[in-house]
């Protein structure tokens, strides 16, 4: 058995095969998954698993180059957005590397998600609780 925070085999496999600049999206229960993109559906019921619990587990194993969010996220769901922003900032400090955050309109975010290697669907019911991580390198 894996001795790490992230024990989901599908997500671990996706992260292991990511190359520099490949993307992985974590989304709420409502984001459409474009045809051809691997869907890893974790949603069980409203709020389970939560967006932030899923993000924390994924980021524990993922080297991040940059982050993309919908520009509507901070206004529509300030609490969830702030929790994510604080977590990303703290993670950047711990890793000694800032993670640039880019904001795009939600419609563009949905189009861009088609470039993701996989989309991890959570049970989150918070509007715009979606993030795309661009994979970095560890050297």
Active site residues: 20
Question: Bridge-partner residues for 103, per DSSP?
Answer: 69
Q: Is 112 part of any known ligand binding site? A: no
Q: How many CB atoms lie within 10 A of CB 128?
A: 22
Instruction: Compute, in degrees rounded to 10, the torsion defined by CA atoms 52, 80, 82, 101.
Output: 70
Q: Is 128 part of any known ligand binding site? A: yes
Q: Is 43 part of any known ligand binding site? A: no
Distance CA 73, CA 94 (A): 25
Q: How many CB atoms lie within 10 A of CB 32?
A: 10
Instruction: Compute, in degrees rounded to 10, the torsion defined by CA atoms 63, 112, 28, 39.
Output: -80
Q: Is 28 part of any known ligand binding site? A: yes
Write out the DSSP string of 94-133. HHTS---EEEE-HHHHHHHGGGEEEEEE----STT--EEE
Per the annotation, binding residues are 28, 106, 128-130
Binding-site residue set for substrate: 28, 106, 128-130
């Amino acid at each position: 058995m894996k001795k790490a925070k992230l024990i989901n085999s599908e997500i671990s496999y996706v992260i292991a095969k990511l190359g520099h600049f490949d993307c992985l999206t974590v989304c709420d229960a409502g984001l459409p998954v474009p045809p051809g993109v691997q869907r890893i559906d974790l949603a069980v019921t409203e709020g389970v698993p939560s967006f932030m619990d899923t993000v924390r587990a994924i980021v524990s194993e993922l080297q991040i180059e940059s982050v993309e969010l919908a520009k509507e996220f901070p206004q529509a769901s300030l609490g969830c957005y702030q929790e994510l922003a604080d977590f990303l900032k703290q993670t950047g400090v711990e890793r000694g590397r800032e993670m640039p955050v880019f904001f795009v309109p939600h419609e563009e975010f949905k189009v861009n998600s088609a470039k993701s290697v996989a989309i991890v669907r959570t049970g989150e019911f918070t509007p715009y609780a979606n993030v795309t991580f661009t994979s970095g390198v560890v050297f």
